[in-house]
Amino acid sequence: MLGGMMQPVVGSGSTIQAADLSAALQDAIGTLAVSTVDNADGTGTATIQLKDAAGNNLSQRGLVRVWTSGRAGADMGAPVAIAVGFSVAGGTEIEEVTADADRIVLSEADGSLSIDPVDDAQDGTLWVMAEYAGIVVSASVAITGT
């Protein structure tokens, strides 16, 4: 079209609608859900799932940074090594950034990974932090039975 304005055809109309844009970006904007369990044996488990912007599970691999940042009441921020540390149980450990505190993990193909055990030498509550695509989430994990 010469001398005029071209409009893309998307969805039901001749212009991009907010709903079309939202649906197109939903899988491109990722986040995480973190759930924790006290194993009552001096350890806890943290399970992490990649999610899309609408909260649906993402069935894809992703690099996730996971770290402990101290006991409840402490600052939830920089990695803090806990007495025993943690192991990657689901997913593949790519790098140990800080001993007993900070790992880079490749999720499973279904977008999940787990840290088991989160192990500590004393009963209490620890913060588990996870970062995916620049978004950081946190969850507390109770540790009892030490």
For the chain, the domain total comes to: 1
Question: Does residue 102 belong to any structural domain of this protein?
Answer: yes
Provide the CATH number for the domain around residue 109.
2.60.40.10
Q: How far apart (Å, rounded) are the C-alpha atoms in residues 80 and 85?
A: 10
Question: Has residue 120 been placed in a domain?
Answer: yes
* Residue 130 included in any domain: yes
pTM for this prediction: 0.79
| Domain enclosing residue 117, as ranges | 30-143
pLDDT means per 10 residues, the chain with 146 residues, are: 49 65 77 94 92 91 91 71 80 92 95 85 86 92 86
Does residue 2 sit in helix, strand or coil? Answer: coil
Nearest-angstrom CA–CA distance, 143 and 125: 6
Residue 83 lies in a domain: yes
Say if 79 falls within a structural domain: yes
Other CB atoms closer than 10 Å to residue 62's CB: what's the count?
18
